[in-house]
Amino acid sequence: MIETMESSARSQHISSRFDEDLESVRARLLRMGGLVEEQLRRSLAALADADRALAGDVVRHDGEVNRMEVEIDGECLRILATRAPAAVDLRLIVAIIKAITDLERIGDEARKIAHIALRLAALEHPVDRYRELRHLGRLVERMVHEALDAFARLDVEAALQVPQDDLQVDEEYESIQRQCMTFMMEDPRQVRRMLDVTWAARALERVGDHAKNIAEYVVYMVHGQDIRHTRLEEIEARLRSRSGGERP
Amino acid sequence: MIETMESSARSQHISSRFDEDLESVRARLLRMGGLVEEQLRRSLAALADADRALAGDVVRHDGEVNRMEVEIDGECLRILATRAPAAVDLRLIVAIIKAITDLERIGDEARKIAHIALRLAALEHPVDRYRELRHLGRLVERMVHEALDAFARLDVEAALQVPQDDLQVDEEYESIQRQCMTFMMEDPRQVRRMLDVTWAARALERVGDHAKNIAEYVVYMVHGQDIRHTRLEEIEARLRSRSGGERP
């Protein structure tokens, strides 16, 4: 009897230490998410305001994002090795391992936008301060925020909203591409600038894709099945069939 | 004594079943890699030969790549949950979970190239059959093959070759971009076609990045440390300092 109580207390002790581990790694993921959101915000501001100093900040901070990825990855490995989690706990760890890859890539895209901002700052700044890009940027920032928020709260309904937002992102992205193409055809002197606008739009569109991936991991954690290429794609296909075909 | 022998036999039995699991999932990863290589090869052939039927094949087979990713991912989760692997075995499973994501994205890029091939096939086919893209394609195909081969043989030296090849890919990619920009400036009627060539080059450049990721996982599996953002980047930085700056 005493032995049973002791062993139960011991397993509870292990389990609570395990919970602490999980909580700690989850908190670190969200801190990394916060930093990545900040990087994205700054890169877009640098673009809109032709702010070279800010663009330089983004490039410098990219290493920090990368370090966080490596640290969290190592922590997840340690938890897998020492605690051998099962079921939902295991899926949480694997989802974190996947999500940090997407966060790191969002950081990469922010760095690319910062490099584009540096190049564009050398040209005459347009009066509309790249209005379309700013608009697309806001949509994409919201997607990243929603995906991280759904991850934090394990909220499947909120996660399923993210791919729907992505449809709007795709529409805006395609509209920017068409516009750039028209400008380039009309005025060859605009080619260089318009290609950079095109690249920035592409980077933002990819950020949206990564946000969608993170949202998918939420469903995977909670429901224990991989909905990628299935449920979300069905939803998307249904919504997409109302608008256009596949983008390049 | 008998008990010890029995328990040793039992643990050997478990361990050999574990090895079978590992071997099976590794074999499936390599099959998925083979399919992805084939998709890439076909998408490039469709582009070079304006072969719509072949491009359609690539688009149709993309679902197969996605299904393989989901299956292998599920198998890895099952192994983590039931076998609780440690050390190098654990790193192998995590590396596979990461590598299938990159393979799936290479498949996505092949599908994008197939879509571009379909659009370009509607235009007059150039006599050089997109020579630069074919050349870049061959470089990138080699990288994917090398990365998968290094993964199969856990060969760190071979894996470290892949990021070096990526430098050549980046050079070719930038040269194509500059060329496209020049053509667009000289002849606005070329804008549409040149943008598609630009997108195809971009897709190939991303395939190279994914191959580099896969090569990095090999080092991570064998050495048990995450070299991303460290050793490979140092190597690259050293090599890159001989050529140019960062691409957009």
Pick the CATH number of A2-240 from 3.60.15.10, 1.20.58.220, 3.40.50.1820, 1.10.1740.10: 1.20.58.220
Q: Hey, are the CB atoms on B226 and A91 less than 8 Å from each other?
A: no
Question: Is B150 a residue whose pLDDT tops 80?
Answer: yes
Q: How far apart are the first and last CA of chain A?
A: 68
CB B102 within 8 A of CB B206: no
Average pLDDT, chain B: 88
pLDDT, residue B17, reads 83
Length of chain A: 248
Question: Is B235 a residue whose pLDDT tops 60?
Answer: no
Which residues, other chains included, contact A195 with Cβ-Cβ below 8 Å and sequence gap of 6+?
A180, A184, B177, B181, B198
pLDDT, residue A88, reads 86
Nearest to B115 among A69, A90, A246 (CB): A246
pLDDT category at A222 given cuts 50, 70, 90 is confident
Question: Is A238 a residue whose pLDDT tops 70?
Answer: no
Q: Hey, are the CB atoms on A186 and B188 less than 8 Å from each other?
A: yes
This complex has an ipTM of 0.81
Nearest to B226 among A73, A86, A202 (CB): A73
Distance, in Å, from the CA atom of A122 to the CA atom of A114, rounded to the nearest integer, reads: 13
Distance, in Å, from the CA atom of B37 to the CA atom of B24, rounded to the nearest integer, reads: 20
The C-alpha of A138 sits at a distance from chain B's nearest C-alpha, in angstroms, of: 21
Give A105 or B15, the one with higher predicted confidence: A105
Average pLDDT, chain A: 88
Q: Hey, are the CB atoms on B66 and A229 less than 8 Å from each other?
A: yes
pLDDT in tens, B25-43: 999 999 999 999 999 999 9
Which residues, other chains included, contact A86 with Cβ-Cβ below 8 Å and sequence gap of 6+?
B81
Of A52-56, A221-225, B228-232, the range with the highest mean pLDDT is A52-56
Question: Is B122 a residue whose pLDDT tops 60?
Answer: yes
pLDDT in tens, B153-180: 999 999 999 999 999 999 999 999 999 9
The C-alpha of A230 sits at a distance from chain B's nearest C-alpha, in angstroms, of: 9
pLDDT in tens, A144-156: 999 999 999 999 9
Q: Hey, are the CB atoms on A115 and B74 less than 8 Å from each other?
A: no
Neighbour count for residue B131 (Cβ, 10 Å): 11
Three-state SS sequence of B102-133: HHHHHHHHHHHHHHHHHHHCCCCCCCCCCHHH
Distance, in Å, from the CA atom of B73 to the CA atom of A142, rounded to the nearest integer, reads: 29
Torsional class of A154: left (φ above 0), alpha (ψ -120 to 50), beta (otherwise): left
Nearest to B86 among A81, A177, A189 (CB): A81
The C-alpha of A68 sits at a distance from chain B's nearest C-alpha, in angstroms, of: 11
pLDDT, residue B246, reads 46
Question: Is A5 a residue whose pLDDT tops 60?
Answer: no
Q: Which residues of B fall below an 8 Å CB-CB distance to A?
A: 63, 66-67, 69-70, 73-74, 77, 80-81, 84, 86-87, 90-91, 94, 97-98, 101, 112, 115-116, 119, 177, 181, 184-186, 188-189, 191-192, 195-196, 198-199, 202, 226, 228-230, 246, 248
pLDDT, residue B110, reads 98
Give B9 or B153, the one with higher predicted confidence: B153
Sketch the domain layout of chain A as residue ranges.
2-240
Q: Please report residues of A whose CB lies closer than 8 A to that of B184.
A: 184, 188, 191
Mutate to test the interface with A, among B47, B77, B232 (most CBs of A within 10 A): B77
**Global pTM value:** 0.85
pLDDT in tens, A70-118: 999 999 999 999 988 888 899 999 999 999 999 999 999 999 999 999 9
